Chain A
Amino acid sequence: MADNETDIEGQPRIAPDAGAADDARPWGEQTRVVGNRRPRVDAWERVSGAAVFPSDLVLPGMLHAAVLGSPHANARVTAIDTSRAERMPGVYAVISRNTPEANPDWDYFSAHSGKLFYDHCRFEGDAVAAVAAQSPYQAHDALRAIQVEYEILPFVSDELEALKPGAPEVHSGGNRAGTQTYARGNIEQGFSEADLVLEQRYRTASEMHTPLEPHGCVARWDGDSLTVWESTQGVYAVQSKIADVLKLPLSRVRVIGHYVGGAFGSKLRTDKYAIIAALLARRVNRPVKLFMTREQTLLTQGNRPPATMTVKAGVKKDGTLTAIQFSGIGASGAYKAGGTSLLDWLAKDLYRCANVSTELTDVYINAQPARPFRAPGYVQCSWAMEQMMDALADGLGMDPVELRLRNIPAGTQARDDKPYTTDGLRLCIEQGARAFGWQEARAAAAQHSKGHLQRGVGMAAANWYAGDGGPPSTVIVRLYADGTANLNMGASDIGTGTKTVMAMVVAEEFGVDPDAVQIEHADTGTTQYATPSGGSKTVPTEAPAVRRACLAVKSQLLDMAAQQLGRPREEIVFDGDHLRTTDGLESLAIRELDRLRKQKVVVGVGQRQSNPQGVSITPFAAQFCEVEVNTLTGEVRLLRMLGSNESGRVINRLTWDGQLIGGITMGVGYATTERRVLDGPTGKLCNKNWHDYKLPTTLDVPAEVISEPIMLTDEQANIVGAKGLGEPVTIPTAGAIANAVAHALGMRLYDTPINPVTLIERVAAREA
């Protein structure tokens, strides 16, 4: 509740915000702009080709850089000779460990310190040297002329092998990167109360982000000031990392990221490339563009770690869950990077269960460090838990929807049972099942099956722990004399439609069209502080701050109107782009305010207030899926999918539906096409391109995707009533597909991906 909101600790309240919005409530049902289907305010730029992505940038005198990576899974660099490369046409600079002045300290997630170009390359692709040249062709020519001598070391690329005694050690001291346990209730008692106990092991392959725009940046120095145009989810996060590594004051590092060609968690932080680009640019005193090759993005720029999960669960005949025991093994990669982050969260939080114990083991392997990937941990855990729920339902002879509905918790069990602000999980499952025609489709699947074409229907549900958003965030709104507005915020729009949502908030408040809102964003030099766009927290973090800034402007407009009309402030209200007296006798447009016309601009500052204590603001989801499995070819045809989401207020229905469509597509890839393959004999990545690493294409997605939002306003969440959506839309997809395939086949596949090869193997094994 707004009343419970308190100022952010240590953040002074800025004058224009004072008294503006303390009693503000989310909008009522009647809104003019919010809730509409609204094309993006920057759609013209994106479809015309005019949008300048960081990789599109061409600056005068700009050189092109390229990075040489170690070709081995684990190797020590014993010598580097760059002399031939330095003499090649068009080459301006070569840096490596031989250039100590251009080899600062670098650490991957702080657990292990090293250098930018480190002697010990613990994963394939780690940087060994870099070149700046006139053209990218010349830069890559020069890379091939660099002579590196490696001492090839033993490696381990499988996390289960890595835990065995005698396995090669990624770091001395063993391959356990961390362990974590959790327990509530009494697990043994829980199992003893159960009428049915099942135990199963599940394995999910590593998934790689591969956004269409490769990772990279353009760096330029003006004296001792550095400007970096980076493809990123968070300009301020990039700024602090660069300043830290290069020992620069924050005020000497400006990071701009107006557009970003996809990210999915892999561009929350920056990487060595930004440091390399800056060092090369300083060395040659010219701007330098450095974008990773596609192969390098697959080798070094992020992955969802693989997971091996064992779930043991007990249930009573009436469907009450009595015990869940979850153990998960994940792989950080060569450096500690959250290989089991949030991996057990759904097991301990999604369904009501008094007795839960979990154990997580994070493992070092000789592969690139993991990165957060759209709902880290949750997507893996959902694959296991949602299949277990269906297996329990099968065992009890209960409908899978019914089993889930009998285990809806009232609050977040992993966080002291804090009550949820909505009954979103139940709403998503019930409303989604109804809209999908669950019972009819489930019953009709058998009669639609003919010979080798078997029909199946499945579902899965989810929540997401971070969809509440929160401070810090500061936004400035300026209202111009003609009633149009400028919005200044630091957040990136990573393709989710952030700019459009925020423009709609401003438009709602000032009674203008969203196109009348000019947006400055994602520039540490000119826009306000924002955390990276990730965690499904951008709308619930930024939109309330945007609205508060608008309310701060409106408070000043009320004073102006009161003065002009000679009425007390309390007798004046806003009506679209007008102010009118409550008696209806007088009205004037905002742009007719004398003070505004004289002053030219009114400034409002909004800050994101803290979330209310004592409640859990959580988004929920459920997905339903119908498939046809060809038992001769192993193909799975996705006939239709429905996604039901409760993320509070729907601000832009068009981009809301787009999030769902995209989340489902990504989940289809996780369930059916994507898998990182590290070669057994060499530890090298086998599928380091999009030919071999299969993303879903137009031919792999369901012909029909239905979006079924739960239309409600989460009154307690914040002053716009919205929660995050970007992750909840992808968490249940893979599990729903697996359950539908199991329904079709009458047997389960426990490992991702379910592709024609893995499926037909199981079918053949059953028939044999």
Chain B
Amino acid sequence: MIDDVRAAADAAVARLAEVAVLAEAQALETELLGKKGPFAEFKTRLGGLATVDEKKAVGQAVNEATQRVAAAVQARVAELKRAERAVQLEAERIDLTEVLSRPSRGHAHIVTQAWQRLEDVFVGLGFQVAEGPEVETDWYNFEALNMPPDHPARSMHDTFYVDHGTPGSTVLRTHTSPVQIRVMQRVAPPIYMIMPGRVFRNETTDATHLAVFHQIEGLVIDRGITLADLAGTIESFTKAFFGEGFSSRLRPSYFPFTEPSAEFDIRTPKGDWLELGGCGMVPPTVLRAGGLDPEEWSGFAFGFGIDRMAKERHAVGDVREMYTNDIRFVEQF
């Protein structure tokens, strides 16, 4: 009987080798190792054997045969699974560049992008962010900033007047500087603030000028603030925003609402100087308009255009393009 068992095992292994399909191999597993399989059959016949020794020997042979067949089945099934997966994988080959659709990402306006990058740099330098109204009183836009009515410097600002209140009392802010006054009135020093926002100038637009554009203004008011602090802050900003290879300088200039006043230029790694914005110390008259004592507090302010940052970063040929809301423009960034 031991020979029969071994012969059955040989036959089973031989049949497995001939099976080429996974499903057949799995069916054969049931046939060979199931309750109605040959080895189960052998086991039922063990009881009819005469001696204990005989039972033991045959039983061992049956177990060995069962294990051998089970191992062969497992190996064959695994082999066939691998083969079938290989066929499937090959059949599923695709060209990854055949892309039919793409997720539709929204596009932030490039001025918003520049605005946020500037905010982030200044926040990193310890500044808070303040905002104010776009329609302003003449007092905040001009008078509090050392430009009383008839001040000649008002002609430097091409002002949009708004038909609200008494004639001439309301304007579209020509700069973000009125927010300086509002901040000084609202917040006790020390003040380290930037004030980004939309501003308006009544001038004909061209490739580099807009009537509606954006500025960012900085204001620092503290004890013992100096012109050197202004130069150092501009330098820190220049390096943080443009890169370590850039530097800055101040050149004397004139603004009614700062004194001493300066233009600030940045120097590119190539050695070119670019005019960036205006700045200066906050003069006593403006500090007083903001409700502060100029003998106790001193400070500086600076400001420049945001749109130009966006224009130059993306090499936009004409600033007016940025406001057409042409989706073909918007989607580029």
Task: Decide if A and B are genuine partners.
Answer: no
- Chain A positions within 8 Å of B, measured between CB atoms, are none
- Chain B positions within 8 Å of A, measured between CB atoms, are none
